[in-house]
Amino acid sequence: MEENDPSGLAAAVLAGERRALARAITLIESSRPDHRERADALLEALLPEAGRSVRLGVSGAPGAGKSTFIEAFGRHLIDAGHRVAVLAVDPSSKRSGGSILGDKTRMEALARDGAAFIRPSPAGTTLGGVARRTREAMLACEAAGFDVVLVETVGVGQSETAVADMVDMFLLLLQPGGGDELQGIKRGIVELADLVLVNKADGELESRARRTAADYEAAIHLLRPSAPGWTVRVQTCSALTGAGIPEAWEAVGAFREALGAGLDERRTRQATAWMWNEVAEGALDALRRDGALRALAGRLEGEVAAGRAAPAAAARRLLTRFLAGS
């Protein structure tokens, strides 16, 4: 059985077998230690064929029309000959096992297309864990020949930074209106966007969408110095009529052209930062798994919270025990 053999599974993924890709991601998402080892072997085999996709984060608050946008955008890409994978990062989905993409009625047409691959958010207890598995799933999708990967987030939490750290470009979807009602998106999220799309620019909302885009454009240019070589764009689109969808993809192309070699540097930075993050998180995990240390950590954390111990001194006490005892 190829699922018990990482190299057989890798070969099937590389051959573009969808069910093999689904199984590969299930293996990547597993928290069983023996699965983890096989997942590492699998990723090692896939890695040389990964990295050749356009990696896009897509964020937006509920109501911005994220699923219909991804459906229309994905459709447009597939019609242009691309193969599109859609992944999601949503740590809050741990209870439902993937709420944001788990709803079977969403992205129906896209899900049926052979050139598309849609995968809900992995279940997980921590954002770090969910993000890690999504990152590795992205590599598997790339190795399976998907040349555009969309990573969706809900736009209301901490996941956006994690997604911005794994993609080339971050798209933020807004709805017409905005202003004081503020779209339900959290502080810090507009900051991450390389491209802002005001969706629902159709029918009687069209002029309102244009006004919203103009307002955001002015605000963004005032508050946000551009990344080197790129000035954030604000555009309108309609997932319903398809207006502005080709232009959104053109903006992605313009962004990639503007960054040029900077894109490779960005990926290298992301990958090494990811490695060090994993090391730091892994060390903390090991510390928390140790019963005696966990008790000490809990006590010190309480003292720090109550203002009875200085954070750095508490950290040093914990570290001394950790480094001596492990």
Interaction site with a second copy (CB under 8 A): 40, 43-44, 47-48, 50-51, 132, 135-136, 139, 178-180, 182, 185-188, 190-191, 215-216, 218-227, 268, 271-272, 274-284, 286-287, 300-301, 304-305, 307-316, 318-319, 322-323, 326
181 vs 153: CA distance, rounded Å:
20
Chain mean position to CA 111: 19
Our CB check for a second copy shows the closer of 1 and 222 to be 222
In total, the chain counts a number of residues equal to 326
Number of other residues whose CB lies within 10 A of the CB of residue 18: 13
Our CB check for a second copy shows the closer of 109 and 219 to be 219
168 vs 223: CA distance, rounded Å:
22
Residues 6+ apart with CB under 8 A from 19: none
Our CB check for a second copy shows the closer of 106 and 186 to be 186
- Closest CB 172 distance from a second copy, rounded Å: 11
Residues 6+ apart with CB under 8 A from 189: 59, 155, 160, 172
Our CB check for a second copy shows the closer of 107 and 185 to be 185
Number of other residues whose CB lies within 10 A of the CB of residue 3: 15
- Closest CB 204 distance from a second copy, rounded Å: 22
- Closest CB 81 distance from a second copy, rounded Å: 25
Single-letter amino acid code for the residue at 294: R
Three-state secondary structure call for residue 228: coil
Q: What is the residue whose two structure tokens read 């053999």?
A: 5
Query: H helices of the chain, where?
Result: 6-14, 18-29, 33-46, 66-79, 99-102, 108-112, 127-143, 159-164, 206-223, 245-259, 262-289, 291-305, 311-325
- Closest CB 196 distance from a second copy, rounded Å: 10
- Closest CB 209 distance from a second copy, rounded Å: 15
Cα dihedral value 131, 277, 126, 324, nearest 10: 150
- Closest CB 148 distance from a second copy, rounded Å: 19
- Closest CB 25 distance from a second copy, rounded Å: 14
65 vs 176: CA distance, rounded Å:
11
- Closest CB 112 distance from a second copy, rounded Å: 31
Three-state secondary structure call for residue 251: helix
Our CB check for a second copy shows the closer of 195 and 245 to be 195
Q: What is the residue whose two structure tokens read 């969910």?
A: 130
Our CB check for a second copy shows the closer of 80 and 313 to be 313
Our CB check for a second copy shows the closer of 80 and 218 to be 218
Our CB check for a second copy shows the closer of 95 and 187 to be 187
Please, which residues bridge with residue 233 across strands?
195
